[in-house]
Amino acid sequence: MPAADDGDPAEHFAIRAINDVADRGYDTILSLKFPYNQASFPAPGSPQMAAELARLDRVLPTVMGKVDIMTIGNEPFIESLPAERDQRLNAFYETVARHVIAHRREHCGAGCGTRLYMGALNRLDLPDRRTPAAERWMTFVRETPEIDGVDIHPHLPAPENAQAFLDYILPRMRAGQTFLVTEFSLVWHWKRHLEDPVAADFAQRHGFPPGTKVWQVIKAAIDEPFPQRTWRDFLTSSPWFTSQSTFLRDQMRLYRGTGRLAVATYGFKQDDLMVRNFGPDKDPWLLNSVFATYTVKPRGEGLSAPNYWLGAFKAQQRT
């Protein structure tokens, strides 16, 4: 949302891109991101809140009725000051949501093609994240008829932790509401293994010294992208990775099995933030991606190499 201050939102690359693919017949989801992790939430009725709503009034006409789903918020319990993850967070997002609802009613009408969700909740597998503010978040979702449901981001240390997300949200939604899973991964499982030594046979075959650690191999691939066979050999020689080979299939089965899933999406490509200053403390998002844009040599001009997950990802499109 702060980018709305930089010029016409219709010319922002993200809005241009999403409207372009919508025009070509693809289904689209747009999340409205409010980064308040370094500043306090504006209070309802304040000049600061008026400025935030003015940003919304510049953005909403460019996408309302064009995108299929609009998520109000991205990761509110991360994109906020820790001390303000309380009723102040709720008051802010509820004010924003009511403004979006009013805009849709006034400018898009009863048959508007854009559905509204509140998003997204993180780490509901941890008891300390199931706070009074999270409870109020779900109460607002349930009691606001214009909201179709809630978004969740199950980034997990183990696949079985995803169940806690469903156990939390499903009983707190009204009948007929659905949920989104616009991000999910095993990033916290991968991170636990960055300091592991790589398999000895992999190190020997590919010229790494004995005892080379996982993060050092990833850093080497970032610095000089590997041939696809080498990157795949690195992953498939790692039991901590191959033990999770059915993750996409199993997670989609879990979400679909509720009968309440609207849409799930998965990380498509590595980006520059994932590879910047990579080291043992870096969150290894790049291991999730369907395409290995930065760690594997491209197949040709404009053709990124597939990552390990491409086959599983394609299989889910056929399910």
The reported pTM is: 0.96
Coil, strand, or helix at residue 279?
coil
Coil, strand, or helix at residue 303?
strand
When computed from its CA atoms, the radius of gyration of the chain, rounded to whole angstroms, is 21
Q: Locate the domains of the chain by residue range.
A: 2-184, 188-244+269-319
- Return the CATH fold of 2-184: TIM Barrel (3.20.20)
Output the tens digit of pLDDT for each of the chain's 319 residues: 999 999 999 999 999 999 999 999 999 999 999 999 999 999 999 999 999 999 999 999 999 999 999 999 999 999 999 999 999 999 999 999 999 999 999 999 989 999 999 999 999 999 999 999 999 999 999 999 999 999 999 999 999 999 999 999 999 999 999 999 999 999 999 999 999 999 999 999 999 999 999 999 999 999 999 999 999 999 999 999 999 999 999 999 999 999 999 999 999 999 999 999 999 999 999 999 999 999 999 988 889 999 999 999 999 988 7
**What is the C-alpha to C-alpha distance for residues 77 and 129, in angstroms, rounded to an integer?**
9
- Look up residue 115 and give its DSSP letter: E
In what helix (H) or strand (E) does residue 7 lie, and over which residues does it extend?
none
